[in-house]
Amino acid sequence: MKKLKTALISVYHKEGLENVLTKLNELGVEVYSTGGTYKFIQEKGFEAKTVESLTSYPSILGGRVKTLHPKVFGGILARRNNDTDLKQLSEYQIPEVDLVIVDLYPFEETLANTDNADEIIEKIDIGGISLIRAAAKNFEDVLVIASSEKYGEFLSLLDEKSGSTDIEDRRYFAAHAFDVSSHYDTAIFKWMSSGRIPAFKESIRNAKTLRYGENPHQKGVFFGDMDKVFEQLHGKEISYNNLQDLDAAIHLIDEFEETTFVIMKHTNACGVATRDNLLDAWIDALAGDPVSAFGGVLITNRVITKEVAEEINKLFFEIITAPDYDDDAFEILKSKKNRIILKRKPVEFPKRQYRSLLNGVLCQDVDLVVETTEHLEAKTSLKPTKEQVAELLFANKIVKHTKSNAIVLTNNKQLIGSGTGQTSRVDALKQAIVKAQSFNLSLEGAVMASDAFFPFADSVEIAANAGVKAVIQPGGSIRDKDSIDYCNAHDVAMVFTGIRHFKH
Protein backbone atom coordinates (compact mmCIF):
# COMPACT_ATOMS: atom_id res chain seq x y z
CA MET A 1 0.00 0.00 0.00
CA LYS A 2 1.24 3.48 -0.86
CA LYS A 3 -0.25 6.69 0.47
CA LEU A 4 -0.71 9.57 -1.92
CA LYS A 5 1.38 12.57 -0.93
CA THR A 6 2.22 14.58 -4.04
CA ALA A 7 0.23 15.02 -7.24
CA LEU A 8 0.90 16.55 -10.63
CA ILE A 9 -2.30 17.75 -12.30
CA SER A 10 -2.45 19.12 -15.85
CA VAL A 11 -5.68 18.62 -17.75
CA TYR A 12 -7.32 20.05 -20.85
CA HIS A 13 -10.84 19.07 -19.77
CA LYS A 14 -11.80 20.50 -16.37
CA GLU A 15 -15.17 18.73 -15.95
CA GLY A 16 -15.25 16.76 -12.69
CA LEU A 17 -11.88 18.07 -11.53
CA GLU A 18 -13.29 20.11 -8.66
CA ASN A 19 -14.52 16.95 -6.89
CA VAL A 20 -11.07 15.41 -7.25
CA LEU A 21 -9.41 18.54 -5.87
CA THR A 22 -11.77 18.55 -2.90
CA LYS A 23 -10.82 14.98 -2.03
CA LEU A 24 -7.09 15.55 -2.47
CA ASN A 25 -7.31 18.62 -0.27
CA GLU A 26 -9.04 16.55 2.45
CA LEU A 27 -6.20 14.02 2.25
CA GLY A 28 -3.53 16.71 2.45
CA VAL A 29 -2.01 15.88 -0.93
CA GLU A 30 0.41 18.51 -2.25
CA VAL A 31 -0.40 19.56 -5.82
CA TYR A 32 1.78 20.81 -8.66
CA SER A 33 0.08 22.16 -11.75
CA THR A 34 0.49 24.10 -14.99
CA GLY A 35 -1.11 26.95 -16.94
CA GLY A 36 -4.87 26.79 -17.22
CA THR A 37 -5.17 23.96 -14.71
CA TYR A 38 -3.23 25.93 -12.09
CA LYS A 39 -5.51 28.92 -12.69
CA PHE A 40 -8.60 26.69 -12.35
CA ILE A 41 -7.33 25.25 -9.06
CA GLN A 42 -6.75 28.74 -7.65
CA GLU A 43 -10.17 29.95 -8.79
CA LYS A 44 -11.77 27.06 -6.95
CA GLY A 45 -9.99 28.07 -3.76
CA PHE A 46 -7.43 25.27 -3.52
CA GLU A 47 -3.70 25.53 -3.02
CA ALA A 48 -1.16 24.42 -5.63
CA LYS A 49 2.39 25.04 -6.75
CA THR A 50 3.34 25.81 -10.31
CA VAL A 51 5.53 23.41 -12.26
CA GLU A 52 7.63 26.46 -13.14
CA SER A 53 8.49 26.89 -9.47
CA LEU A 54 9.92 23.38 -9.57
CA THR A 55 11.76 23.53 -12.90
CA SER A 56 12.74 27.24 -12.86
CA TYR A 57 11.69 27.32 -16.52
CA PRO A 58 8.56 29.02 -17.85
CA SER A 59 6.20 27.51 -20.38
CA ILE A 60 7.85 28.15 -23.75
CA LEU A 61 7.25 27.78 -27.49
CA GLY A 62 3.63 28.81 -27.25
CA GLY A 63 2.92 26.18 -24.61
CA ARG A 64 4.56 23.33 -26.52
CA VAL A 65 7.04 22.84 -23.66
CA LYS A 66 5.75 23.03 -20.10
CA THR A 67 6.47 19.82 -18.22
CA LEU A 68 9.28 18.24 -20.27
CA HIS A 69 11.98 18.56 -17.60
CA PRO A 70 14.06 16.16 -15.44
CA LYS A 71 12.67 17.68 -12.25
CA VAL A 72 9.18 16.64 -13.36
CA PHE A 73 9.91 13.26 -14.93
CA GLY A 74 12.51 12.35 -12.33
CA GLY A 75 9.91 12.55 -9.57
CA ILE A 76 7.57 10.32 -11.54
CA LEU A 77 10.01 7.72 -12.85
CA ALA A 78 12.19 7.30 -9.75
CA ARG A 79 12.02 3.75 -8.34
CA ARG A 80 11.29 4.00 -4.64
CA ASN A 81 13.10 0.74 -3.89
CA ASN A 82 16.23 1.84 -5.74
CA ASP A 83 18.77 3.59 -3.53
CA THR A 84 20.56 5.21 -6.48
CA ASP A 85 17.33 6.71 -7.77
CA LEU A 86 16.44 8.07 -4.35
CA LYS A 87 19.93 9.49 -3.88
CA GLN A 88 19.66 11.35 -7.18
CA LEU A 89 16.26 12.74 -6.23
CA SER A 90 17.83 14.12 -3.07
CA GLU A 91 20.92 15.43 -4.88
CA TYR A 92 18.90 17.36 -7.46
CA GLN A 93 16.11 18.36 -5.08
CA ILE A 94 13.42 16.53 -7.02
CA PRO A 95 10.19 15.78 -5.12
CA GLU A 96 8.60 12.35 -5.46
CA VAL A 97 5.34 12.42 -7.44
CA ASP A 98 3.02 9.53 -6.65
CA LEU A 99 -0.13 10.72 -8.44
CA VAL A 100 -0.36 12.01 -12.02
CA ILE A 101 -3.69 13.32 -13.31
CA VAL A 102 -3.25 14.27 -16.95
CA ASP A 103 -5.46 14.08 -20.02
CA LEU A 104 -4.73 14.73 -23.69
CA TYR A 105 -5.51 17.45 -26.20
CA PRO A 106 -8.71 16.64 -28.14
CA PHE A 107 -7.04 15.42 -31.33
CA GLU A 108 -9.96 13.36 -32.68
CA GLU A 109 -12.50 16.09 -31.96
CA THR A 110 -10.31 18.65 -33.73
CA LEU A 111 -9.87 16.30 -36.69
CA ALA A 112 -13.64 15.89 -36.94
CA ASN A 113 -14.22 19.64 -36.99
CA THR A 114 -11.49 21.06 -39.23
CA ASP A 115 -9.22 20.31 -42.17
CA ASN A 116 -6.71 22.93 -41.05
CA ALA A 117 -3.44 21.02 -40.68
CA ASP A 118 -1.90 23.61 -38.33
CA GLU A 119 -4.82 23.34 -35.91
CA ILE A 120 -4.72 19.56 -36.05
CA ILE A 121 -0.96 19.39 -35.45
CA GLU A 122 -1.21 21.65 -32.41
CA LYS A 123 -3.60 19.12 -30.88
CA ILE A 124 -0.95 16.39 -30.99
CA ASP A 125 -0.11 16.21 -27.32
CA ILE A 126 3.55 15.79 -26.35
CA GLY A 127 3.90 16.66 -22.69
CA GLY A 128 0.65 15.02 -21.66
CA ILE A 129 1.28 11.72 -23.37
CA SER A 130 4.84 11.65 -22.01
CA LEU A 131 3.60 12.17 -18.45
CA ILE A 132 0.95 9.47 -18.86
CA ARG A 133 3.44 6.95 -20.19
CA ALA A 134 6.01 7.76 -17.52
CA ALA A 135 3.52 7.40 -14.68
CA ALA A 136 2.05 4.21 -16.15
CA LYS A 137 5.50 2.69 -16.61
CA ASN A 138 6.29 3.30 -12.95
CA PHE A 139 2.97 1.90 -11.71
CA GLU A 140 4.73 0.11 -8.85
CA ASP A 141 5.07 3.51 -7.18
CA VAL A 142 2.81 5.94 -9.08
CA LEU A 143 -0.92 6.12 -9.73
CA VAL A 144 -1.98 7.63 -13.07
CA ILE A 145 -5.41 8.96 -14.01
CA ALA A 146 -5.38 9.48 -17.79
CA SER A 147 -8.90 10.80 -18.41
CA SER A 148 -11.87 12.23 -16.55
CA GLU A 149 -13.87 9.06 -17.26
CA LYS A 150 -11.94 7.43 -14.40
CA TYR A 151 -12.55 10.16 -11.82
CA GLY A 152 -15.49 8.29 -10.33
CA GLU A 153 -13.50 5.08 -9.81
CA PHE A 154 -10.56 7.09 -8.50
CA LEU A 155 -12.66 8.88 -5.89
CA SER A 156 -14.26 5.62 -4.78
CA LEU A 157 -10.81 4.12 -4.39
CA LEU A 158 -9.64 7.02 -2.24
CA ASP A 159 -12.71 6.67 -0.03
CA GLU A 160 -12.33 2.92 0.25
CA LYS A 161 -8.61 2.95 1.10
CA SER A 162 -8.28 6.31 2.84
CA GLY A 163 -5.99 7.87 0.24
CA SER A 164 -3.80 4.81 -0.31
CA THR A 165 -3.50 2.43 -3.26
CA ASP A 166 -2.15 -1.07 -3.73
CA ILE A 167 -0.16 -2.50 -6.63
CA GLU A 168 -3.25 -3.96 -8.38
CA ASP A 169 -5.01 -0.59 -8.22
CA ARG A 170 -2.04 1.13 -9.79
CA ARG A 171 -1.57 -1.54 -12.45
CA TYR A 172 -5.24 -1.30 -13.42
CA PHE A 173 -5.09 2.47 -13.87
CA ALA A 174 -1.77 2.13 -15.71
CA ALA A 175 -3.36 -0.30 -18.16
CA HIS A 176 -6.16 2.19 -18.73
CA ALA A 177 -3.55 4.89 -19.32
CA PHE A 178 -1.87 2.82 -22.04
CA ASP A 179 -5.32 2.18 -23.52
CA VAL A 180 -5.80 5.96 -23.75
CA SER A 181 -2.33 6.63 -25.13
CA SER A 182 -2.39 3.83 -27.72
CA HIS A 183 -5.82 4.92 -28.97
CA TYR A 184 -4.56 8.48 -29.26
CA ASP A 185 -1.45 7.44 -31.18
CA THR A 186 -3.53 5.27 -33.51
CA ALA A 187 -5.71 8.24 -34.45
CA ILE A 188 -2.62 10.34 -35.14
CA PHE A 189 -1.01 7.58 -37.21
CA LYS A 190 -4.11 7.15 -39.37
CA TRP A 191 -4.26 10.87 -40.06
CA MET A 192 -0.56 11.16 -40.76
CA SER A 193 -0.30 8.10 -42.98
CA SER A 194 -3.57 8.62 -44.91
CA GLY A 195 -3.42 4.94 -45.83
CA ARG A 196 0.05 5.17 -47.38
CA ILE A 197 1.69 2.98 -44.74
CA PRO A 198 0.30 -0.59 -44.86
CA ALA A 199 -0.33 -1.37 -41.19
CA PHE A 200 -3.44 -2.66 -39.46
CA LYS A 201 -4.13 -0.18 -36.68
CA GLU A 202 -7.64 0.22 -35.37
CA SER A 203 -8.67 1.34 -31.92
CA ILE A 204 -12.19 1.39 -30.50
CA ARG A 205 -12.43 2.14 -26.80
CA ASN A 206 -16.20 1.67 -26.42
CA ALA A 207 -16.96 -1.93 -25.53
CA LYS A 208 -20.26 -3.60 -24.72
CA THR A 209 -20.26 -7.14 -23.36
CA LEU A 210 -23.04 -9.13 -24.99
CA ARG A 211 -25.05 -11.96 -23.43
CA TYR A 212 -23.01 -14.35 -25.54
CA GLY A 213 -21.53 -14.66 -29.03
CA GLU A 214 -22.98 -16.41 -32.04
CA ASN A 215 -23.84 -19.35 -29.76
CA PRO A 216 -24.41 -19.51 -25.99
CA HIS A 217 -21.05 -21.21 -25.34
CA GLN A 218 -19.17 -18.34 -27.02
CA LYS A 219 -18.34 -15.03 -25.34
CA GLY A 220 -19.23 -11.92 -27.31
CA VAL A 221 -18.30 -8.23 -27.17
CA PHE A 222 -19.28 -5.35 -29.44
CA PHE A 223 -16.62 -2.69 -29.86
CA GLY A 224 -18.28 0.50 -31.01
CA ASP A 225 -20.98 2.99 -30.11
CA MET A 226 -24.45 1.63 -30.88
CA ASP A 227 -26.00 4.82 -29.51
CA LYS A 228 -24.68 6.72 -32.52
CA VAL A 229 -26.51 4.38 -34.89
CA PHE A 230 -29.88 4.04 -33.18
CA GLU A 231 -31.83 4.70 -30.01
CA GLN A 232 -33.36 1.65 -28.36
CA LEU A 233 -36.89 2.59 -27.41
CA HIS A 234 -38.05 -0.77 -26.10
CA GLY A 235 -37.20 -4.42 -25.65
CA LYS A 236 -34.54 -6.80 -24.46
CA GLU A 237 -30.79 -6.44 -24.80
CA ILE A 238 -29.47 -6.63 -28.37
CA SER A 239 -27.53 -9.81 -29.06
CA TYR A 240 -24.52 -10.71 -31.21
CA ASN A 241 -26.74 -12.24 -33.91
CA ASN A 242 -29.15 -9.29 -33.71
CA LEU A 243 -26.26 -6.96 -34.50
CA GLN A 244 -25.22 -8.98 -37.54
CA ASP A 245 -28.77 -8.89 -38.88
CA LEU A 246 -29.09 -5.18 -38.12
CA ASP A 247 -25.88 -4.42 -39.97
CA ALA A 248 -27.10 -6.31 -43.04
CA ALA A 249 -30.56 -4.74 -42.85
CA ILE A 250 -29.28 -1.18 -42.53
CA HIS A 251 -26.90 -1.50 -45.48
CA LEU A 252 -29.65 -2.96 -47.66
CA ILE A 253 -32.36 -0.42 -46.81
CA ASP A 254 -29.91 2.42 -47.39
CA GLU A 255 -29.77 1.42 -51.06
CA PHE A 256 -33.37 2.64 -51.48
CA GLU A 257 -34.77 6.16 -51.64
CA GLU A 258 -38.35 5.07 -52.39
CA THR A 259 -40.72 3.83 -49.67
CA THR A 260 -39.38 0.36 -48.94
CA PHE A 261 -39.77 -2.37 -46.35
CA VAL A 262 -37.13 -5.08 -45.77
CA ILE A 263 -37.36 -8.27 -43.72
CA MET A 264 -34.02 -9.87 -42.85
CA LYS A 265 -33.26 -13.38 -41.61
CA HIS A 266 -29.72 -14.49 -40.84
CA THR A 267 -28.31 -11.51 -42.77
CA ASN A 268 -30.25 -12.30 -45.97
CA ALA A 269 -33.38 -10.55 -47.16
CA CYS A 270 -36.45 -12.80 -47.15
CA GLY A 271 -38.85 -9.96 -47.94
CA VAL A 272 -38.42 -6.67 -49.81
CA ALA A 273 -40.98 -4.44 -51.47
CA THR A 274 -41.06 -0.87 -52.72
CA ARG A 275 -44.47 0.80 -52.92
CA ASP A 276 -46.12 4.22 -52.95
CA ASN A 277 -47.23 3.78 -49.34
CA LEU A 278 -45.67 1.97 -46.40
CA LEU A 279 -48.60 -0.33 -45.64
CA ASP A 280 -48.50 -1.83 -49.13
CA ALA A 281 -44.71 -2.13 -48.90
CA TRP A 282 -45.07 -4.11 -45.67
CA ILE A 283 -47.82 -6.38 -46.97
CA ASP A 284 -45.91 -7.24 -50.13
CA ALA A 285 -42.55 -7.64 -48.36
CA LEU A 286 -44.16 -10.14 -45.99
CA ALA A 287 -45.88 -11.96 -48.86
CA GLY A 288 -42.49 -12.72 -50.39
CA ASP A 289 -41.73 -15.29 -47.69
CA PRO A 290 -44.07 -15.20 -44.68
CA VAL A 291 -42.49 -18.36 -43.24
CA SER A 292 -38.92 -17.03 -43.06
CA ALA A 293 -40.21 -13.68 -41.77
CA PHE A 294 -41.12 -15.34 -38.46
CA GLY A 295 -38.58 -14.15 -35.88
CA GLY A 296 -36.95 -11.82 -38.39
CA VAL A 297 -35.56 -8.29 -38.33
CA LEU A 298 -37.73 -5.58 -39.90
CA ILE A 299 -36.45 -2.30 -41.26
CA THR A 300 -37.94 0.55 -43.26
CA ASN A 301 -36.95 4.02 -44.42
CA ARG A 302 -40.25 5.66 -43.47
CA VAL A 303 -42.03 6.59 -40.23
CA ILE A 304 -44.21 3.77 -38.86
CA THR A 305 -47.87 4.78 -38.63
CA LYS A 306 -50.66 3.24 -36.57
CA GLU A 307 -52.18 1.31 -39.50
CA VAL A 308 -48.80 -0.15 -40.43
CA ALA A 309 -48.06 -1.05 -36.81
CA GLU A 310 -51.36 -2.89 -36.51
CA GLU A 311 -50.44 -5.12 -39.45
CA ILE A 312 -46.85 -5.65 -38.34
CA ASN A 313 -47.98 -6.56 -34.84
CA LYS A 314 -49.67 -9.69 -36.20
CA LEU A 315 -46.23 -11.21 -36.84
CA PHE A 316 -43.71 -12.45 -34.29
CA PHE A 317 -40.41 -10.69 -34.97
CA GLU A 318 -37.25 -9.86 -33.03
CA ILE A 319 -36.47 -6.28 -34.06
CA ILE A 320 -37.97 -3.35 -35.91
CA THR A 321 -35.93 -0.35 -37.03
CA ALA A 322 -37.32 2.84 -38.53
CA PRO A 323 -36.59 6.57 -38.71
CA ASP A 324 -39.41 7.15 -36.20
CA TYR A 325 -42.79 5.95 -34.94
CA ASP A 326 -46.09 7.72 -34.49
CA ASP A 327 -47.15 7.64 -30.84
CA ASP A 328 -50.06 5.26 -31.51
CA ALA A 329 -47.80 3.00 -33.54
CA PHE A 330 -45.23 2.81 -30.77
CA GLU A 331 -47.88 1.89 -28.20
CA ILE A 332 -49.00 -1.00 -30.40
CA LEU A 333 -45.50 -2.30 -31.13
CA LYS A 334 -44.28 -2.20 -27.54
CA SER A 335 -47.07 -4.53 -26.45
CA LYS A 336 -44.53 -7.37 -26.62
CA LYS A 337 -42.13 -7.07 -23.69
CA ASN A 338 -39.00 -8.40 -25.40
CA ARG A 339 -39.55 -6.90 -28.85
CA ILE A 340 -36.63 -4.62 -29.74
CA ILE A 341 -37.76 -1.27 -31.15
CA LEU A 342 -35.03 0.92 -32.59
CA LYS A 343 -35.09 4.48 -33.91
CA ARG A 344 -32.33 5.15 -36.41
CA LYS A 345 -30.01 8.11 -36.25
CA PRO A 346 -28.11 9.75 -39.11
CA VAL A 347 -24.59 8.33 -39.03
CA GLU A 348 -21.73 7.89 -41.46
CA PHE A 349 -20.35 4.37 -41.51
CA PRO A 350 -16.69 3.43 -42.05
CA LYS A 351 -15.54 2.97 -45.63
CA ARG A 352 -13.34 -0.01 -44.72
CA GLN A 353 -14.34 -3.40 -43.36
CA TYR A 354 -12.37 -6.14 -41.62
CA ARG A 355 -12.59 -9.85 -40.97
CA SER A 356 -10.30 -11.87 -38.74
CA LEU A 357 -9.12 -15.18 -40.17
CA LEU A 358 -6.18 -17.56 -39.82
CA ASN A 359 -3.59 -15.59 -37.88
CA GLY A 360 -4.42 -12.20 -39.34
CA VAL A 361 -7.03 -9.80 -40.60
CA LEU A 362 -8.53 -9.22 -44.03
CA CYS A 363 -9.24 -5.61 -44.93
CA GLN A 364 -11.10 -4.20 -47.91
CA ASP A 365 -13.12 -1.21 -49.08
CA VAL A 366 -16.83 -1.43 -48.36
CA ASP A 367 -18.82 -2.26 -51.51
CA LEU A 368 -20.42 1.13 -52.09
CA VAL A 369 -21.15 0.75 -55.80
CA VAL A 370 -24.83 1.24 -56.62
CA GLU A 371 -25.56 0.44 -60.25
CA THR A 372 -27.57 2.93 -62.31
CA THR A 373 -28.72 2.94 -65.91
CA GLU A 374 -25.28 4.23 -66.89
CA HIS A 375 -23.73 0.94 -65.73
CA LEU A 376 -26.02 -1.21 -67.86
CA GLU A 377 -24.93 -2.64 -71.20
CA ALA A 378 -27.66 -4.39 -73.16
CA LYS A 379 -26.23 -7.60 -74.60
CA THR A 380 -29.28 -9.05 -76.37
CA SER A 381 -31.13 -7.99 -79.48
CA LEU A 382 -34.23 -7.56 -77.31
CA LYS A 383 -33.60 -4.50 -75.14
CA PRO A 384 -35.22 -4.21 -71.72
CA THR A 385 -38.11 -1.79 -71.42
CA LYS A 386 -37.93 1.23 -69.15
CA GLU A 387 -39.99 -0.65 -66.59
CA GLN A 388 -37.74 -3.70 -66.82
CA VAL A 389 -34.64 -1.55 -66.31
CA ALA A 390 -36.11 -0.17 -63.09
CA GLU A 391 -36.99 -3.70 -62.00
CA LEU A 392 -33.51 -5.02 -62.82
CA LEU A 393 -31.86 -2.28 -60.77
CA PHE A 394 -34.24 -3.08 -57.88
CA ALA A 395 -33.29 -6.77 -58.01
CA ASN A 396 -29.61 -5.96 -58.32
CA LYS A 397 -29.66 -3.96 -55.08
CA ILE A 398 -31.02 -6.98 -53.24
CA VAL A 399 -28.62 -9.53 -54.75
CA LYS A 400 -25.71 -7.27 -53.82
CA HIS A 401 -26.60 -7.86 -50.16
CA THR A 402 -27.31 -11.60 -50.46
CA LYS A 403 -24.83 -14.35 -49.57
CA SER A 404 -23.06 -15.91 -52.57
CA ASN A 405 -23.82 -17.82 -54.67
CA ALA A 406 -26.90 -15.68 -54.93
CA ILE A 407 -29.86 -15.38 -57.28
CA VAL A 408 -32.72 -12.95 -56.72
CA LEU A 409 -36.06 -13.00 -58.53
CA THR A 410 -38.33 -9.95 -58.38
CA ASN A 411 -41.54 -8.78 -59.99
CA ASN A 412 -43.23 -5.40 -59.65
CA LYS A 413 -40.63 -4.19 -57.10
CA GLN A 414 -41.23 -7.19 -54.85
CA LEU A 415 -38.75 -9.89 -53.86
CA ILE A 416 -40.50 -13.12 -54.88
CA GLY A 417 -37.67 -15.61 -54.51
CA SER A 418 -34.01 -15.77 -53.55
CA GLY A 419 -31.35 -18.43 -53.53
CA THR A 420 -28.73 -17.68 -50.89
CA GLY A 421 -25.33 -19.08 -50.04
CA GLN A 422 -25.48 -22.01 -52.45
CA THR A 423 -22.46 -23.90 -53.75
CA SER A 424 -23.65 -23.54 -57.34
CA ARG A 425 -25.52 -20.82 -59.18
CA VAL A 426 -27.98 -23.37 -60.58
CA ASP A 427 -28.85 -24.51 -57.05
CA ALA A 428 -29.35 -20.88 -56.00
CA LEU A 429 -31.73 -20.33 -58.92
CA LYS A 430 -33.69 -23.52 -58.21
CA GLN A 431 -34.04 -22.48 -54.57
CA ALA A 432 -35.33 -19.04 -55.62
CA ILE A 433 -37.89 -20.58 -58.01
CA VAL A 434 -39.15 -23.02 -55.37
CA LYS A 435 -39.52 -20.13 -52.90
CA ALA A 436 -41.66 -18.15 -55.32
CA GLN A 437 -43.79 -21.11 -56.30
CA SER A 438 -44.35 -22.22 -52.70
CA PHE A 439 -46.01 -18.87 -51.94
CA ASN A 440 -47.95 -18.74 -55.23
CA LEU A 441 -45.97 -15.76 -56.51
CA SER A 442 -46.06 -15.49 -60.28
CA LEU A 443 -42.73 -15.70 -62.10
CA GLU A 444 -44.25 -14.68 -65.40
CA GLY A 445 -42.51 -11.49 -66.51
CA ALA A 446 -40.14 -11.56 -63.52
CA VAL A 447 -36.50 -10.48 -63.64
CA MET A 448 -33.44 -12.31 -62.38
CA ALA A 449 -30.32 -10.81 -60.76
CA SER A 450 -27.10 -12.70 -60.19
CA ASP A 451 -24.23 -11.56 -57.95
CA ALA A 452 -21.67 -13.00 -60.41
CA PHE A 453 -21.50 -14.23 -64.00
CA PHE A 454 -23.16 -17.40 -65.27
CA PRO A 455 -20.49 -19.98 -66.09
CA PHE A 456 -22.95 -21.80 -68.34
CA ALA A 457 -26.24 -21.04 -70.04
CA ASP A 458 -28.15 -23.55 -67.89
CA SER A 459 -29.26 -20.94 -65.32
CA VAL A 460 -30.65 -18.69 -68.04
CA GLU A 461 -32.50 -21.62 -69.57
CA ILE A 462 -34.07 -22.63 -66.25
CA ALA A 463 -35.07 -19.04 -65.49
CA ALA A 464 -36.61 -18.48 -68.91
CA ASN A 465 -38.64 -21.68 -68.67
CA ALA A 466 -39.96 -20.44 -65.29
CA GLY A 467 -41.18 -17.17 -66.83
CA VAL A 468 -38.26 -14.76 -66.32
CA LYS A 469 -38.11 -12.11 -69.08
CA ALA A 470 -35.05 -10.03 -68.16
CA VAL A 471 -31.68 -10.78 -66.57
CA ILE A 472 -29.02 -8.62 -64.94
CA GLN A 473 -25.55 -9.98 -64.25
CA PRO A 474 -21.95 -8.75 -64.19
CA GLY A 475 -20.83 -10.73 -67.24
CA GLY A 476 -17.26 -11.87 -67.69
CA SER A 477 -17.60 -15.60 -68.33
CA ILE A 478 -15.79 -17.17 -71.28
CA ARG A 479 -19.22 -18.60 -72.13
CA ASP A 480 -21.17 -15.33 -71.98
CA LYS A 481 -22.08 -15.81 -75.65
CA ASP A 482 -23.93 -19.03 -74.82
CA SER A 483 -26.16 -17.23 -72.32
CA ILE A 484 -26.72 -14.32 -74.71
CA ASP A 485 -27.59 -16.64 -77.59
CA TYR A 486 -30.12 -18.49 -75.46
CA CYS A 487 -31.75 -15.22 -74.40
CA ASN A 488 -31.92 -14.05 -78.02
CA ALA A 489 -33.60 -17.30 -79.03
CA HIS A 490 -36.21 -17.08 -76.26
CA ASP A 491 -37.05 -13.35 -76.12
CA VAL A 492 -35.27 -12.66 -72.85
CA ALA A 493 -33.49 -9.33 -72.37
CA MET A 494 -30.06 -9.45 -70.74
CA VAL A 495 -27.88 -6.62 -69.44
CA PHE A 496 -24.36 -6.66 -68.06
CA THR A 497 -23.14 -4.37 -65.27
CA GLY A 498 -19.46 -5.29 -65.29
CA ILE A 499 -19.57 -5.24 -61.48
CA ARG A 500 -19.50 -8.38 -59.36
CA HIS A 501 -20.98 -8.46 -55.84
CA PHE A 502 -19.63 -11.56 -54.09
CA LYS A 503 -20.65 -11.71 -50.45
CA HIS A 504 -19.33 -14.38 -48.09
Name the residues annotated as catalytic: 137, 266
Task: For residues 141 and 97, give the distance between their C-alpha atoms in angstroms, rounded to a whole number.
Answer: 9
Instruction: Reduce the DSSP state of residue 474 to 3 states and report it.
Output: coil
- Look at residues 284, 264, 301, 276 and name the one whose alpha carbon lies nearest to residue 414: 284
Task: For residues 425 and 420, give the distance between their C-alpha atoms in angstroms, rounded to a whole number.
Answer: 9
The DSSP bridge pattern shows strands 317-322 and 296-300 to be: parallel
Range list of β-strands (E), 440-499: 447-450, 470-473, 493-496
Cα dist. 309→279, 314, 325 in Å? Answer: 9, 9, 9
Q: Reply yes or no: is the peptide bond before residue 241 cis, omega within 30 of 0.
A: no
Determine contact, residues 354/202, Cβ cutoff 8 Å.
yes
Cα dist. 341→147, 223, 282, 309, 323 in Å? Answer: 34, 21, 16, 12, 11
Task: For residues 418 and 476, give the distance between their C-alpha atoms in angstroms, rounded to a whole number.
Answer: 22
Task: For residues 443 and 447, give the distance between their C-alpha atoms in angstroms, rounded to a whole number.
Answer: 8
Instruction: Reduce the DSSP state of residue 62 to 3 states and report it.
Output: helix
Determine contact, residues 177/144, Cβ cutoff 8 Å.
yes
Task: For residues 60 and 442, give the distance between their C-alpha atoms in angstroms, rounded to a whole number.
Answer: 78
Give the CA radius of gyration of the chain: 31
